[in-house]
Chains A and B, each alone.
Chain A
Amino acid sequence: MNDHVAIRRMLALAAAGALEPNEERLVAAHIQSCAGCAAELEEWQLLTGGLRRLPTPQPPASLVERARARAEARLAEEAEYRWHRGVMIFLVFFAWALTLMSWPLVRLVSGGLLGLLDPRLNQAWIGFAAFTTFVWLGGGAAAVLLSLRQRRERSLA
């Protein structure tokens, strides 16, 4: 492929301002001596100039207002959702910490008095802890499922 053909293939991109600087220099140098390519470049420039001057369709004012109102409502929903999620996470951690701390605390405060009342109670904390874990895992799974369902409903809305 000779230079003339190669340059001619670049002319559309030259008019679109999409050439590398070195390619632009090549085109500029070539059209100085090639009237055909200069005319062709002008044709491309007329076309790209026309594209740049196409009238911009305006969105209806009512559309912009509707979009604004819906987006603001969604923004408020998002903020509320994040707040609820934050509160829920805090409560979950708080409840877990309270649960885990409560039994050793009871034992400490009671000074073994409960053990005197029921000798089997010292071993019972393992069962209690297992029960608590089971309940919390169940609650956690329910919360996750609920959250997934809410998200699905929101995406369908």
Chain B
Amino acid sequence: MGPENEVARLRRGDMDALSALISRYQNRLYRYLLRLVREPAEAEDLFQQTWLRVVEKIRGFDPNRNFDAWLFTVARNLAIDRLRRIQPESLDEPVSEDFPGGTAMDRLTSKEPAALDRVLERERSSRLAVALVDLSVPFREVLTLRFEEEMKLEEIAEVLGAPLSTVKSRLRRSLDQLRRRLETRYPGENWQ
């Protein structure tokens, strides 16, 4: 079931609807913000700011529009403002490739095959996540919207305020860059 009912109730000032919407979107919104700004503290602040902005602007929201796209646009505008205030070079800073929870070798010494599979899966995911956050903001943004938020291209275009052709071209270049980075860092490995 979509959020239309909750959105309509929130527009009438219903606090329960606000609570329901926050619960519904908390993981997706936080993940999106974290992918954009990379710093958990920044993402947490933006998460709160986004909901405040939603409350302020919800009466101006056109119910015929897609709420997901509108919400992510609100979050995006706040995040972009924040990123503009941060020194631009900090955005391109390479992130650490260390993985939490001990060394890879420590974790690979497990004797259980299932545990080994899980470790390998986690390793691949970690490498992919590291390579993803290392991309520039527009690239990691379009990838997270497409593959993590599972948005349609039209919805992504609405969030980015860009034509569909731009979204497609950015998506292709993002994948291209991500793959090149993975191949450079981890030659001969797959990232399934």
Which residues of A (17-76) have their CB < 8 Å from a CB of B? 18, 43-44, 46-60, 63-64, 66-68, 70-72, 74-76
Inter-chain contact A47/B178, CB cutoff 8 Å = yes
B88-96, B100-108, B141-149 - the one binding chain A: B141-149
Select one of B28, B47, B172, B191 contacting A67, CB under 8 A: B47
Q: How large is the interface on B (under 10, 10 to 19, 20 to 34, 35 or more residues)?
A: 35 or more
Question: At the interface, yes or no: B110 with Cβ under 8 Å from chain A?
Answer: no
Question: At the interface, yes or no: A13 with Cβ under 8 Å from chain B?
Answer: yes
Chain B residues, Cβ within 8 Å of A18: 146, 153, 168, 171-172
- Bound-state CA distance A29–B87 (Å) is 48
- Bound-state CA distance A34–B129 (Å) is 32
Inter-chain contact B26/A48, CB cutoff 8 Å = no
B51-59, B66-74, B78-86 - the one binding chain A: B51-59
Inter-chain contact A47/B191, CB cutoff 8 Å = yes
Inter-chain contact A51/B30, CB cutoff 8 Å = no
Inter-chain contact B128/A46, CB cutoff 8 Å = no
- Name the CB-closest residue of A to B44: A63
Inter-chain contact A59/B47, CB cutoff 8 Å = yes
- Bound-state CA distance A55–B150 (Å) is 14
- Name the CB-closest residue of B to A10: B172
- Bound-state CA distance A111–B2 (Å) is 68
Chain A residues, Cβ within 8 Å of B44: 59-60, 63
- Name the CB-closest residue of A to B179: A47
Residues of A within 8 A of B (CB): 9, 12-13, 15-16, 18, 43-44, 46-60, 63-64, 66-68, 70-72, 74-76, 78-79
| A-B pairs with lowest CB-CB distance, top 3 | A59-B30, A51-B147, A71-B51
